[in-house]
Amino acid sequence: MITKRIIPCLDVKDGRVVKGVNFAGLQDVSSPVELAEYYTRSGADELVFYDITASAEGRGLFPDILRRTASRVFIPLTVGGGINTLEDFDRVLKCGADKVSVNSGAIRNPDLIRQAALRYGSQCVVLSADVKRVDGQFRVFGRGGRDDTGMEAIGWIKHCVDLGAGEVVVNSIDTDGVKGGFDLEMLAAVCQAVKVPVIASGGAGRTEDFVRLFQTLPGVDAGLAASVFHFGEIAIPHLKAQLRQAGISVR
């Protein structure tokens, strides 16, 4: 059985970790450097760092806070936000990232995925897809969930994997921050469409949500969450113990 990963997510705005509901109403949480240290000690398998306003503000990701955060992390680090060119990939990797997450940059130029996979390897290229239901269809959103692209999400995700994305983070805008459980319908559709690792994001509220995720969808490789970890509602060691008790293999 594939070992499941538990991944905290740092949504960073103006150098601080923030969290909202349905991608809106952001509230200050903590320093990304402090949280990175905490999660490294707490048994997280990986860490995701998103500069969530870089694309909307039309700028590159802030390198200083990323370097300081990466220097305290001793687990794989995925970084995204304002990734539009191969130079952005290079800059983020040199700051200490292990993998680079691309979203709006790929929407504008899908060939960026192919170019990055050729230069750095598919294992380094992570597609982050912000998805919301619109008129009964899974729709891709850009610029941090602000813009409806009009593109059907499952076909878009499959296309990006075909171009070379080695991993997919599926961010459900509908369930983000609601804490009512992961979007299993959306995730099932993605798992059927692609053969690369799929990371579920959006909706975790209890340890039972992670148990249900992995038991219902064995094809999902990892569960990603933010506020339930940031505010101590779920402790990662306890979560992993509960998953093992449910017969789910974790690191």
Name the token pair of 133: 């239901």
By the 8 A CB rule, do 81 and 46 touch? no
Which residue pairs from 114-118 have beta carbons closer than 8 angstroms and sit at least 24 positions apart in sequence? 114/163, 114/164, 115/86, 116/86, 116/89, 116/164, 117/163, 117/164, 117/165, 117/166, 118/164
Which strand (E) or helix (H) includes residue 47? strand 47-51
Residue 33 to residues 68, 74, 81, Cα–Cα distance (Å): 6, 12, 17
Q: Please state, in angstroms and rounded to a whole number, the distance separating the CA atoms of residues 245 and 251.
A: 13
Angle at 220 between CA 215 and CA 223, to 5 degrees: 90
CA nearest neighbour of 36 among 1, 8, 6, 4: 8
CA nearest neighbour of 229 among 102, 71, 41, 2: 41
Per the annotation, the verdict on 98 as an active-site residue is: no
Q: Which amino acid is at 173?
A: I
Q: Which one of 130, 176, 183, 209 is the catalytic residue?
A: 130
Per the annotation, the verdict on 90 as an active-site residue is: no
Q: Which one of 11, 51, 209, 221 is the catalytic residue?
A: 11
- Total residue count of the chain as it appears in this document: 251
Active-site residue set: 11, 130
